[in-house]
């Protein structure tokens, strides 16, 4: 069968669409998990877009090995220079350059004639080729281009040295049969198309990104571009986990296989959701909470008799444990470590001791500790900033009166106690944290939800802060006390921002 190359753009197309500023540690954490997942290419960012993005791509190039690291550029020499510099230490670097090819993009955005676009394609690909052997060319808005012109552009890119040609449905306008026909047309009419890998990059504006990507693969494309959980511009990108499992479930339909380690899918989805603050809907295909839940009595009866009656994917195939294991305060380190290994967490030594202490505190607050609690426990460990810790909190509140919060924080090793008022306990809490930290960013969004079961369930709080420069910073916190979870989330967001 053909090999499917999986191109992940979570750190580029996914991040830029959210207004979120992920720090270097968060990007590295996602990148390492993408390597565990088995993706072939990580598009780490757009180096020319900002100094921060340049440094992120450079850092990932230095630290993440075993995968192709790609940087995006416009078809501009300055962009390509910066991208090449950022990718200098990559084990396998790729420059991804291109420009719009549809009539509306050429006339309204680029102010270029078709012949100028052809010439710019030639110049940009050849210039990128001076730096790296692996050059991908994107023909932006391919689906709305004129087909004969698209063929000319792609031929010029391949002739100039492009190793991959990306044919995007940039605005999510295609239907599956139309997009499949477009890829087939390119495969049949572009001279020397066999000298390059054809890539599909679909957006989800009409809800067909995954279907379109699969239609393109069936028509001959051998690379798929997308994001974890489908995050991306506007309505999002192709969800890589959906394409992967479609191919795994029905390989004969697409005549293609990938190198993806499917058991890492659930862990990767949870990580991206936690770091970006974008919650996965319960009904989301493959990775949603309800994806393997059977509520109907008829369905339950069928699954009990034979799982194949209603399950086309085994939950364990994507890293979701079928069995629900309960732990308690009587469970030892070994039992906790064993269950965590089953859930994909490999920890030992001091890290295990730290998690076990957190586990015992949680187990004292709950009668049972479920898998969802462990996920939250690990998320709490990784989300709460180490430089600021909550030591104590006290509140007074009454209907019709302002609430007062008194809080003690440990900031860089020093204890600080302050008091502030607000129109409710959470408002007062945020105000007093602002007073201690000097935070000036405003709350863009705040939410609390249950992430485990029972009346003692763990609450997950998410806080999004936006500063005066427009940067968005996401913090998460977990606790059986939703006020404590809110404090942790707010502090986590403030720590990422820096407070000033």
Tens digit of each residue's pLDDT (9 = 90 or more) over 8-19: 999 999 887 766
The enclosing domain of 175 has a CATH number of 3.20.20.70
∠ CA 260-268-295, nearest 5°, is 100
- Helices within 176-250 (DSSP H only): 176-189, 209-218, 240-249
Which range, of 77-91, 120-134, 336-350, averages the lowest pLDDT? 336-350
The CA distance from 342 to 326, in Å, is 13
Q: What's residue 323's pLDDT?
A: 46
The CA distance from 50 to 12, in Å, is 12
Q: What's residue 340's pLDDT?
A: 79
Q: What's residue 38's pLDDT?
A: 98
The CA distance from 238 to 480, in Å, is 35
The confidence band for 20, taking pLDDT boundaries of 50, 70 and 90, is low
Residue with more model confidence, 465 or 121: 121
Neighbours of 468 (CB within 10 A): 8
User: Does the residue 327 lie in any domain?
Assistant: no
Task: Tell me which residue of 309, 19, 423 sits closest to 431, measured CA to CA.
Answer: 423
Same domain, 270 and 393: no
Same domain, 272 and 390: no
In 129-288, at which residue ranges do the beta strands (DSSP E only) sit? Answer: 135-140, 164-169, 197-202, 223-226, 256-257
The confidence band for 377, taking pLDDT boundaries of 50, 70 and 90, is confident
Which tokens is 185 given? 């047309």
pLDDT over 70 (residue 455)? no
pLDDT over 90 (residue 468)? no
User: Does the residue 336 lie in any domain?
Assistant: no
Domain residue limits at 150:
2-276
Q: What number of H helices and E strands is found in the chain?
A: 18, 16
Which range, of 17-31, 33-47, 320-334, 353-367, averages the lowest pLDDT? 320-334
The CA distance from 323 to 340, in Å, is 13
Most confident option among 23-32, 176-185, 288-297, 369-378: 176-185
Q: What's residue 311's pLDDT?
A: 82
Same domain, 24 and 165: yes
Q: What's residue 388's pLDDT?
A: 82
Over residues 468-474, the mean pLDDT reads 83
Same domain, 392 and 257: no
Q: What's residue 385's pLDDT?
A: 47
Q: What's residue 154's pLDDT?
A: 98
Same domain, 271 and 393: no
User: Does the residue 356 lie in any domain?
Assistant: no
pTM, to two decimals: 0.78
The confidence band for 324, taking pLDDT boundaries of 50, 70 and 90, is very low
Residue ending a domain, choose from 215, 243, 276: 276
Q: What letter would DSSP give residue 327?
A: B
Task: Tell me which residue of 66, 72, 70, 73 sits closest to 91, measured CA to CA.
Answer: 66
User: Does the residue 6 lie in any domain?
Assistant: yes
Q: What's residue 164's pLDDT?
A: 98
Tell me the sheet residues that pair with 45. 71
Most confident option among 423-437, 448-462, 467-481: 423-437
Q: What letter would DSSP give residue 99?
A: E
Most confident option among 4-13, 288-297, 331-340, 441-450: 4-13
Q: What's residue 449's pLDDT?
A: 85
pLDDT over 80 (residue 375)? no
Same domain, 219 and 77: yes
The enclosing domain of 405 has a CATH number of 3.30.160.270
User: Does the residue 466 lie in any domain?
Assistant: yes
Same domain, 98 and 228: yes
Residue ending a domain, choose from 245, 276, 307: 276
**Could you give the angle at which helices 240-249 and 265-276 cross, rounded to 10 degrees?**
170
For the chain, percent of residues with pLDDT exceeding 90: 60
Residue ending a domain, choose from 234, 251, 276: 276
Neighbours of 25 (CB within 10 A): 12
Q: What's residue 500's pLDDT?
A: 44
Q: Please state the domain count of the chain.
A: 2
pLDDT over 80 (residue 85)? yes
Helix, coil or strand: residue 6: strand
Q: What's the pLDDT tens digit per position in 192-247?
A: 999 999 999 999 999 999 999 999 999 999 999 999 999 998 999 999 999 999 99
Task: Tell me which residue of 186, 192, 189 sits closest to 200, measured CA to CA.
Answer: 186
Same domain, 269 and 408: no
User: Does the residue 353 lie in any domain?
Assistant: no
pLDDT over 80 (residue 376)? no
User: Does the residue 180 lie in any domain?
Assistant: yes
Q: What's residue 284's pLDDT?
A: 94
Computed over every residue of the chain, the mean pLDDT equals 89
Q: What letter would DSSP give residue 281?
A: P
Q: What's residue 321's pLDDT?
A: 66
User: Does the residue 35 lie in any domain?
Assistant: yes
Q: What's the pLDDT tens digit per position in 122-173?
A: 999 999 999 999 999 999 999 999 999 999 999 999 999 999 999 999 999 9
């Amino acid at each position: 069968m053909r090999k499917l190359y999986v191109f992940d753009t979570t750190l580029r197309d996914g991040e830029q669409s959210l207004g979120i500023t992920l720090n270097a540690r968060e990007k590295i954490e996602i990148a390492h998990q993408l390597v565990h997942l088995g993706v072939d290419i990580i598009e780490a960012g757009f180096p020319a877009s900002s100094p921060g993005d340049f440094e992120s791509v450079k850092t990932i190039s230095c630290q993440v090995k075993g995968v192709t690291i790609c940087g995006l550029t416009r078809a501009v020499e300055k962009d390509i220079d910066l991208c090449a510099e950022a990718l200098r230490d990559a084990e396998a670097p790729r420059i991804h350059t291109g420009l719009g090819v549809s009539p509306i993009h050429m006339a309204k955005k680029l102010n270029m004639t078709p012949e100028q676009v052809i010439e710019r394609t030639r110049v940009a690909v050849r210039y990128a080729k001076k730096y790296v052997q692996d050059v991908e060319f994107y023909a932006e808005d391919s689906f709305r281009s004129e087909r004969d012109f698209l063929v000319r552009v792609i031929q010029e890119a391949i002739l100039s040295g492009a190793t991959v040609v990306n044919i995007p449905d940039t605005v999510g306008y295609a239907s599956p049969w139309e997009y499949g026909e477009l890829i087939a047309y390119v495969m049949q009419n572009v001279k020397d198309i066999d000298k390059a890998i054809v890539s599909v990059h679909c957006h989800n504006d009409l809800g067909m990104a995954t279907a379109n990507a699969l239609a393109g693969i069936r028509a001959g494309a051998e690379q798929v571009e997308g994001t974890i959980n489908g995050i991306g511009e506007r309505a999002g990108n192709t969800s890589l986990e959906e394409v992967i499992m479609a191919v795994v479930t029905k390989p004969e339909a697409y005549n293609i296989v990938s190198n993806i380690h499917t058991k890492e899918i659930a862990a990767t989805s949870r990580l991206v959701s936690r770091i970006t603050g974008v919650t996965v809907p319960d009904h989301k295909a493959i990775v949603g909470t309800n994806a393997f839940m059977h509520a109907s009595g008829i369905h339950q009866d069928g699954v009990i008799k034979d799982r194949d009656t209603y399950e086309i994917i085994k939950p364990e195939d994507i890293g979701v444990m079928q069995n629900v294991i309960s732990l308690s305060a009587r469970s030892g380190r070994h039992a906790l470590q064993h269950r965590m290994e089953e859930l994909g967490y490999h920890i030992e030594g001091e890290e295990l001791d730290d998690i076990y202490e957190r586990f015992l505190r949680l187990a004292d607050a709950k009668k049972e500790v479920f898998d969802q609690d462990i996920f939250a426990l690990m998320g709490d460990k990784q989300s709460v900033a180490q430089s600021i810790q909550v030591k104590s909190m006290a509140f007074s509140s009454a209907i019709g009166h302002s609430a007062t919060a008194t809080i003690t924080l440990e900031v860089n090793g020093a204890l600080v106690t302050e008091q502030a008022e607000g129109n409710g306990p959470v408002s007062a809490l945020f105000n007093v944290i602002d007073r201690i930290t000097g935070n000036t960013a405003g709350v863009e969004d705040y939410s609390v939800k249950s992430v485990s079961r029972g009346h003692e369930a763990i609450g997950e709080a998410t806080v999004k802060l936006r500063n005066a420069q427009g940067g968005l910073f996401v913090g998460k916190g977990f606790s059986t006390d939703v006020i404590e979870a809110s404090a942790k989330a707010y502090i986590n967001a403030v720590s990422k921002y820096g407070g000033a």
